[in-house]
Amino acid sequence: MLRKLAIVLMLVLMPALLFAQARPIVLRLAETHPEGYPTTKGDYEFARLVKERSNGRIIIEVYAGSQLGQEKAVIEQVQFGAIDLTRVSISPMASFVPRLNAFQMPYLYRDEAHMWKVLKGDIGKELLKSLEPFGFIGLGWFESGARNFYNSKRPIRTPADLKGLKIRVQESELMMGLVAAFGAVPTPMPFGEVYSALQTGVVDGAENNWPSYFSTSHYEVAKYYTLDEHTRVPEIIVGSKISLSKLSKADQELIRQAAFDAIDYQRAEWAAYEKLARDKVVAAGCQIIEITDKTPWMELMKPLYARQSKEIQDLIEKIRAVK
């Protein structure tokens, strides 16, 4: 009788146990860029590494093209656990974690190599760790080139040419201050709304790197592109503290390591796409304005630096000291 009962129990419980074991942990990652964009490819590489290293136990589903919302709204949802992961620019992220502003100050990095030394070194690693009290787990960084002004009105050769132009900025106080310090009128709005705002004249211009200028087709409606390289804004991959802390410490570490290991892949994809974007934009007949002396541009940024908190000033100094 007892044996029979045991067999029946086993038959009933086994499939349930097996099923429970086989069911993967699924995490959703929100990405604003479309499929095929180098950063989205970086997300997929991150997901691939996580799947491979967890033997399929952890699956990251990438939702590209703002399917889960625009950046600021996505960050809010990550903060309260409704979205598990996202890759965003640190500009909107800095509204949630102010010290991130130190990493997007104008003309801060000497070049791309300097930025990567900072991000992959102790300063960058510490910063990723410091996001927890705000409800985020910092996982890694991606490349995003340098941002340049573009507009539909006139070629911008000096900061004075920007005067009075309505320039779209990310939803970031620092970026508003930066554009205002150049004498333009900053207009914050989500990325997805910029094309029609340019087309209808709600704004005269915006600013972004070559890949975004090209992939959004903004170059079709704002053909003056000035290579002033006012800022390098790193991209960040963050997880939701609420959702990731449900995983074991080992799995959290696996995810963190995978994000970090996807960086070089994304950077290589970025470099290739940046070149392609540049070629396409030039071929389309846009007017590209080179800036040989950035000194007058940098000068105008001094008050913005002076306004930053002590904490940010200290971080800026540390960043500059990285050789």
The residues of the shown chain that bind ligand GTR, judged by CB under 6 A, are 32, 39, 71, 88-89, 91, 144, 170, 191, 208-209, 212, 235
Measured on CA atoms in the order 216, 272, 29, 206, is the torsion positive or negative? negative
- Element counts in the chain: helices (H) and strands (E): 16, 11
Residue 295 C-beta: closest distance to ligand GTR, Å:
26
Counted residue by residue, the chain has a size of: 323
Kind and range of the H or E run holding 228: strand 224-231
| Residue 170 vs 187, nearer CB to ligand GTR | 170
Place of tokens 């033997």: 55
Inter-residue contact 60 to 46 (CB < 8 Å): yes
Place of tokens 């604003």: 32
Residue 88 C-beta: closest distance to ligand GTR, Å:
5
| Residue 89 vs 243, nearer CB to ligand GTR | 89
| Residue 67 vs 158, nearer CB to ligand GTR | 67
Residue 33 C-beta: closest distance to ligand GTR, Å:
6
Please tell me the distance from the alpha carbon of residue 106 to that of residue 96, in angstroms, as a whole number: 20
* Cβ neighbours, 10 Å, residue 72: 20
Kind and range of the H or E run holding 244: helix 241-244
| Residue 209 vs 243, nearer CB to ligand GTR | 209
Residue 220 C-beta: closest distance to ligand GTR, Å:
17
| Residue 58 vs 106, nearer CB to ligand GTR | 106
Residue 5 C-beta: closest distance to ligand GTR, Å:
59
Residue 304 C-beta: closest distance to ligand GTR, Å:
19
Q: At 10, which amino acid appears?
A: M
Largest CA distance in the chain: 93
Beta pairing partners, 287: 224
| Residue 132 vs 193, nearer CB to ligand GTR | 193
